[in-house]
Amino acid sequence: MDEAFTGLKVQLGTAAACRLTGRSRATHYRHLKPRPLVEPKPRPAPPSALSAAERAAVLELSNRPEYAELPPAQVWARELDAGTYWCSPSTRYRILRTAGQSGDRRRQAAHPAKVKPELVTDGPSQV
């Protein structure tokens, strides 16, 4: 298509070649000068982001024995009732997610695997 277009463009001009091939002039000029690929810039950290020490303190608080089995929203509410504000509940969830603790925080019993019963017979009609 491009070879035919360039042949027509030389003989008839750009506007006529675009009309005959069904290509808009904007598309033609966009293909002539493609934009350079620009890598996306990394997002800057917000100025109110918690420092590494503050994140570690929130994680340590969430892992205390009295809070170990509570969901992050209840930990946040109890600390707020006590008069301390560490971070928002969503930030607390993000911190726990990065630490791999965002699932069920209660202690879980490890149940043994169920054994499939095996029937052994010596002859016919014994089962």
**H/E element, 56:** helix 52-62
Q: How confident is the model at residue 110 (pLDDT cuts 50, 70, 90)?
A: confident
Cα distance between residue 124 and residue 31, in whole Å: 81
- pTM to 2 decimal places: 0.53
- pLDDT value of position 98: 93
pLDDT score for 1: 64
- Give the residue among 59, 62, 70 at the shortest CA–CA distance from 106: 70
